[in-house]
Structure 1
Amino acid sequence: MQDRRRFVRNSIGAVTGSVASLAWLPKLAADDVAVAPEHVRFHDDIEPLVRLLEDTPRRQIVDQVFGEIRHGRSYQELLAALFLAGIRNVQPRPAVGFKFHSVLVVYSAHQASLAAVDQHRWTPLLWSIDYFKRAQQSDVREGDWTMAAAPSSNLPDPQKALRSLDDALTRWDVEAADAAATTVARTASAAQILDLLSKHAARDYRSIGHKSIYLANAFRTLGVIGWQHAEPVVRSLCYAILNHTGDPNPATSDLEVDRVGRSNWKLADQFSAGWLSSERKSIESATVAKELRTSSPEQASEFVLQLIQSGCHPDSVYDGIMVAAAEMVSRQAAIVPLHAVTTSNAMRFLYRTAHDDRTRKWLLLQNAAFIPHFRRSAEDRGKLNDTDLLQLSPSEDDSTDLDSVFDLVRKDRPEAARAVLKLASQPQVTHRLIGQARELVFLKGNDAHDYKFSSAALEDYQQIAPIWRARYLAGCSYLLHGRSERTTDLAERVLQFG
């Protein structure tokens, strides 16, 4: 059997290939995919397909997957194999980002596939598989990490496993967390696991929100591929959550990235008893968005607490957070503001999905606090312009239509935003606008952030109050794709395959 590491090394730098070149590849059977005993192995029904993705050189992977599809391999099977291959082969170190985007992007790509027209249905998945091969090559260059097999000794009693995992994560103890996560994944409910991991994934600003993104997207991916795959995913999540590369143990330190996460637990306990009983009001959302332009993380949390205590609905707060994130994108169309949007999307999912009320209150405060964190990080990279999304005026050009909007995107971003604001204020046009925005991601996107951002932004568009939707989309338009950009080679191949 070919050695996987040699296979990957030999494929570095190669991108394209042909179906004819695949004739020599052996068929993989269950007996042919033995995994080293020190490495994690998945269920027998998915392990051969995972190994196929791992072992096929990048220059041949798309054609090999085309062959699998022609022979009846299901979308769900390929999605599961892709997600698990990333978990086993790509280390979330030194940050939960960079090459680990091959894992983080899987659910975003799935969202894009769900919303695609038939001719583009396979493009996001096939793009993600190719992207995994790129990440796998990077991981080989950085040491060729592979996820270890689940621990078999020193596992906590199932009745105490959740408490043991909470304690290990609090102490930032990787070994103890892995043992507890193994038992928790085998015995606890999805709701129990999400509640527990939420309060650890969202506690610190390391990796600019990717820990929350990973947790939200991993749980949603499990909902698609099946909870029989939960054990390696939960173990991987805990390993990622405990990443503090470059910092001393946060449990025994007082670092800025951890500070507001700790203080917000005290604020969460000050919420009024009827914190969910008020009505959504747009003026409250505008107030939040304005406050987040200048406040510190601690001030943002205190401000949200005051609003909640005065009767503000938490969804009004969240609308303000989302508008603030989109406005930041319009002020600096770059990587940090992009993550203000994708992290807020993830945290809002955790807030809406968690069962524990105290955790939900804390997540709301944390999300508000993260916006100033992002703003400061963006300012460290360059000056933010003075765009005021709340005061943005729609285009006055009578010729503005869908074609002209996507001709402007990435050429004249301010004018494109005004054009989007005009068109998105017309409900009968909005669905076509969003459809074209997605299609251009399929055709032009060549980075994980293209899928992560567009899927998050277009999902959140539906979640915020109608009064804010057009402005939110206008702000996000700064990072959408335009018609003049080059169509990727992979998109061309997928269209030919279809």
Structure 2
Amino acid sequence: MLDPLDRRRFVTRALQAGAITALGDFHFLHGLPAPAADNDKTTRQLLPLSSEIEPLVRLIEDTPRSQLMERIVAEIRKGTSYEELLSAVFLAGVRGIQPRPVGFKFHAVLVINSAHLASLRAPDKERWLPLFWALDNFKNSQKANYEQGNWRMAPVEESKLPPPHRAKQRFLEAMDDWDEEGADRAITTLARTASAEQVYELFWRYGCRDFRDIGHKAIYAANSWRTLQAIGWRHGEPVVRSLAYAMLDRGGNDNPAEHDYDADRPFRENQKRLADLGPLWKQRRRLVPEAAHDLLETLRTASPSDGSAKVVELLRKGIHPASIWDGLFLMAGELLMRQPGIVGIHCVTSTNALHFAYQTTASDETRQLLMLQTAAFLPMFRQTMMGRGKLADVKIDRLEKAEGTDDPSQAIEEIFATVSKDRLLAARKTLALMDGDSRRFPLLVRAAERLIFSKGHDSHDYKFSSAALEDYYHVTAPWRARYAAASMFNLKGTGDRDNNLIERTRAALAKT
């Protein structure tokens, strides 16, 4: 057994000479207060934002990338708050990056909540780093958007908006018909007259409607909701307009309402299955760890339809939804282990988003639908991965521990050094560490996130880490160590290439 380690001793020892903190000295950030464009300017009509945030958004949009860090540091020194900067970089992306496909360049928007979560968990002075990274990431996406046609969100035609009493029904009809103009007008009225909860209750279902964009529609729904909780519903109108437009991305298909595409079929089938299910809490339900294993075993070979049917079977047997979600989370982690890379990452981040919607919706029927859709999406991910190459023969429930040092701080150092060389071995070492004492997980998280700050190069580094590290607590206790172990297949290691964020931030601080 590993000895318990108190947080203070871990941090002290790590700051002395550990490989993780040798990644970069963050003391240069102490000159900042603690948080309480490369392309030509467009002349086309542009949606105006609220007066209090428009100037900062314009600054982000119009300043060349090479000068942006320095300009933002100057604004912070003059009093710009963390919340204002978070709002501005998010809204700059919402207004100025086309959400189609829902991914690629649009990660400038999708990643903002993940950067925010990393900021919240960081020490006060380091909280600026994820936002600085997000600003730089936005400029890359802005350049790509410009090269691909320079899409910008335009104002709506006010005279064509439906009245408030018809807006919800018009929105549902437009979304079901894949009618972009109708949905845009209806959601604008809803944003002005309904609550955030009422609006997003509609989006939770449409976010899981189809498998196009490998789960990014659900990710956008969850992450935009969470970001709006931080910056305020007063900024909601452009966000939900962008979200509706994203959810109507057909991926090059003809109107899905008139066809039976593979991406849409599970939703139609699962809506029918709902009729056979009663309320989730109608009967007393049991937490059964073996049920998670049963579901995991099924999902390894199941078709999308079979995956959903298995969830129905377990619910009818009185299995608690938490045990079902255990099986879903474990399957997502195992798929990542079997084929690390872009599809495996989205197995984890999509399951995180679908589970967040499950937790947030007020509708019991929507909760059931989200579970059934997740159980269909994971086999679809597996099928997609098989089309990209071989899947390794590794099973998350059969992973064996790799015993190491009895000192937890040294064990964590060894884990992240091993990540850069042998991810399977790092996973086995993590299993040994976490199986001994789950209280060590926050220390593992802190080390992982410092590595993201120093070595994260794209949006998936932030998106994946926030999802995987969050869902550790959503998995029930018997399975947590194994889920944590799976995360090592995409976290950063101490031997990975550094980014230049720290050096650029240091240079910007020196100039202001």
| TM-score, length basis structure 1 | 0.91
Shift, 1:207, TM fit: 0.3
Q: Residue 99 of structure 1: SS of its match in structure 2? A: helix
1:308 is the counterpart of 2:318? no
1:443 is the counterpart of 2:454? yes
2:313 and 2:439 map into 1 onto residues whose CA distance is 38
In the other structure, the counterpart of 2:119 is 113
2:264 and 2:146 map into 1 onto residues whose CA distance is 32
* Aligned 8 A contact 1:295 1:372 in 2: yes
User: Residue 55 and residue 259 in structure 1: after superposition, are their counterparts in 2 closer, same or farther (change >3 A)?
Assistant: same
Q: How many residues align?
A: 468
Alpha-carbon displacement from aligned partner over 1:44-63 (angstroms, at most 9, x marks no partner): 11101100000000111111
1:464 is the counterpart of 2:450? no
User: Residue 98 and residue 376 in structure 1: after superposition, are their counterparts in 2 closer, same or farther (change >3 A)?
Assistant: same
Shift, 1:101, TM fit: 0.3
In the other structure, the counterpart of 1:50 is 57
User: Residue 128 and residue 274 in structure 1: after superposition, are their counterparts in 2 closer, same or farther (change >3 A)?
Assistant: closer
Which of residues 196, 200, 217 is equivalent to 2:206? 200
Shift, 1:358, TM fit: 1.2
Which of residues 370, 374, 396 is equivalent to 1:367? 374
Of 35-44 and 326-335, the range deviating more from structure 2: 35-44
Shift, 1:157, TM fit: 2.0
In the other structure, the counterpart of 2:268 is 262
Shift, 1:275, TM fit: 4.0
* Aligned 8 A contact 2:208 2:217 in 1: yes
* Aligned 8 A contact 2:455 2:498 in 1: yes
Which of residues 388, 409, 420 is equivalent to 2:419? 409
In the other structure, the counterpart of 1:14 is none
* Aligned 8 A contact 1:151 1:178 in 2: no
Shift, 1:427, TM fit: 2.4
Instruction: Give, as a single letter, the amino acid of the residue that structure 2 aligns with 1:402.
Output: I
Of 375-384 and 450-459, the range deviating more from structure 2: 375-384
Shift, 1:444, TM fit: 0.4
Q: Residue 383 of structure 2: SS of its match in structure 1? A: helix
1:488 is the counterpart of 2:494? no
1:270 and 1:357 map into 2 onto residues whose CA distance is 14
In the other structure, the counterpart of 1:455 is 466
Instruction: Give, as a single letter, the amino acid of the residue that structure 1 aligns with 2:481.
Output: A
Alpha-carbon displacement from aligned partner over 1:402-436 (angstroms, at most 9, x marks no partner): 11111100311111000011111222422211210
* Aligned 8 A contact 2:438 2:481 in 1: no
Instruction: Give, as a single letter, the amino acid of the residue that structure 2 aligns with 1:416.
Output: A
1:8 is the counterpart of 2:38? yes
Q: How does 1:343-422 map to 2 (within 5 A)?
A: 343-398=350-405, 401-422=411-432
Instruction: Give, as a single letter, the amino acid of the residue that structure 2 aligns with 1:54.
Output: E
In the other structure, the counterpart of 2:11 is none
2:432 and 2:164 map into 1 onto residues whose CA distance is 56
In the other structure, the counterpart of 1:168 is 174
Of 279-288 and 422-431, the range deviating more from structure 2: 422-431
User: Residue 422 and residue 119 in structure 1: after superposition, are their counterparts in 2 closer, same or farther (change >3 A)?
Assistant: farther
1:295 and 1:442 map into 2 onto residues whose CA distance is 38
In the other structure, the counterpart of 2:231 is 225
Which of residues 322, 329, 334 is equivalent to 1:322? 329
2:43 and 2:207 map into 1 onto residues whose CA distance is 30
1:280 and 1:107 map into 2 onto residues whose CA distance is 31
In the other structure, the counterpart of 1:23 is none
1:423 is the counterpart of 2:433? yes
* Aligned 8 A contact 1:268 1:365 in 2: no
Q: How does 1:288-299 map to 2 (within 5 A)?
A: 288-299=295-306
Which of residues 195, 214, 222 is equivalent to 2:220? 214
User: Residue 232 and residue 436 in structure 1: after superposition, are their counterparts in 2 closer, same or farther (change >3 A)?
Assistant: same
1:128 and 1:223 map into 2 onto residues whose CA distance is 18
| TM-score, length basis structure 2 | 0.89
Instruction: Give, as a single letter, the amino acid of the residue that structure 2 aligns with 1:270.
Output: D
Shift, 1:269, TM fit: 2.1
1:420 and 1:495 map into 2 onto residues whose CA distance is 33
2:379 and 2:163 map into 1 onto residues whose CA distance is 41
Of 429-438 and 452-461, the range deviating more from structure 2: 429-438
Alpha-carbon displacement from aligned partner over 1:139-171 (angstroms, at most 9, x marks no partner): 111111111112312221211211110110000
Alpha-carbon displacement from aligned partner over 1:7-64 (angstroms, at most 9, x marks no partner): 53369xxxxxxxxxxxxxxxxxxxxxxx968321100111011000000001111111
Q: Residue 479 of structure 2: SS of its match in structure 1? A: helix
2:153 and 2:405 map into 1 onto residues whose CA distance is 57
Alpha-carbon displacement from aligned partner over 1:375-403 (angstroms, at most 9, x marks no partner): 11111111110111101111133467111
1:315 and 1:428 map into 2 onto residues whose CA distance is 21
* Aligned 8 A contact 1:424 1:433 in 2: no
Q: How does 1:52-201 map to 2 (within 5 A)?
A: 52-93=59-100, 95-201=101-207
Of 439-448 and 148-157, the range deviating more from structure 2: 148-157
Alpha-carbon displacement from aligned partner over 1:424-471 (angstroms, at most 9, x marks no partner): 122242221121011111110010000000000001111111111110
Instruction: Give, as a single letter, the amino acid of the residue that structure 1 aligns with 2:469.
Output: L
2:391 and 2:339 map into 1 onto residues whose CA distance is 5
